[in-house]
Amino acid sequence: MIRERWEILLSDSHIPLDESSELCFDTLCTLYQEPHRYYHTFDHLSQMLWQLDLADITCVSVRWATFYHDAYYIPGDPENEQRSADLARNHLLLMGVEEKIIHDIEEMIIATKTHTASKDDNEDLCALLDVDMAILGVANKDYAAYCEKVRLEFSVIDEALYRAGRKRFLESVLAQDRIYLTDYFFSEFELQARKNMERELAFQGAHNLSNL
């Protein structure tokens, strides 16, 4: 699936399937298959690309940003997004992508650090932020599985500290006027996302999030 989507993106970007593009893809494979990852894997990318299809978002910059936005992922590391953006720049330069497009992709990737934007911001940037957060608005069972995978990624952190950090995240997202900035993702996910997060907050005292 991911290999096929990569080749489609290369074609849509007029990039040949050659030694350079193969090297870039192999690097991404190595990174996204690191043993400490449970949620931030190629499965996450596949879901994002699928949701972009459903939303009829075909912009190549959004798809490039999707591929690279979690290229570097160490739980809690504040440099994840910058390092991922830097890798995207290096790879895209190697594959001959023009500077303006690379700059836009970098900007989108770095924005995933805070997930803050306004409805008036760049539409492509808003689409990437929304599709990255689509997991918050999935069905209860899938949301519980996401919670368990994220917890596994932070397994080295004490339970009380993790729950405190998770609580801050949930409350900050719920405090926003709207979680999703684009009309499509707002209509598809906003209501369920709020239900899921409110439910998780209500179960903060429980140790088994599969009960969500």
- Regarding whether 115 and 190 lie in a shared domain, the answer is no
**Would the pLDDT of 210 be above 80?**
no
74-90, pLDDT tens digit by residue? Answer: 998 999 999 999 999 99
The domain in which residue 56 lies consists of: 1-120
Please give, one letter per residue, the 3-state secondary structure of the chain. CHHHHHHHHHHHCCCCCCHHHHHHHHHHHHHHCCCCCCCCCHHHHHHHHHHHHHCCCCCHHHHHHHHHCCCCCCCCCCCHHHHHHHHHHHHHHHCCCCHHHHHHHHHHHHHCCCCCCCCCCCHHHHHHHHHHCHHHHCCHHHHHHHHHHHHHHCCCCCHHHHHHHHHHHHHHHHCCCCCCCCHHHHHHHHHHHHHHHHHHHHCCCCCCHHHC
Do 111 and 178 sit in the same domain of this protein? no
Q: Of 168-172, 193-197, 202-206, give the lowest mean pLDDT range.
A: 202-206
In this prediction, residue 115 carries a pLDDT of: 87
111 and 143, same domain (yes or no): no
Q: Judge whether 143 lies within some domain.
A: yes
Residue 211 pLDDT: 41
82, 137: one domain: no
pLDDT at 160: 92
Considering the domain architecture, whether residues 146 and 167 belong to the same structural domain is answered as: yes
Asked if pLDDT for residue 165 goes beyond 70, the answer is yes
Q: Rg of the Cα trace of the chain?
A: 17
Question: What's the pLDDT band for 206 if we cut at 50, 70, 90?
Answer: low
**Would you state the pLDDT for residue 203?**
86
On whether both 62 and 115 belong to a single domain, the answer is yes
- Which band of pLDDT confidence, cut at 50, 70 and 90, is reported for residue 120? low
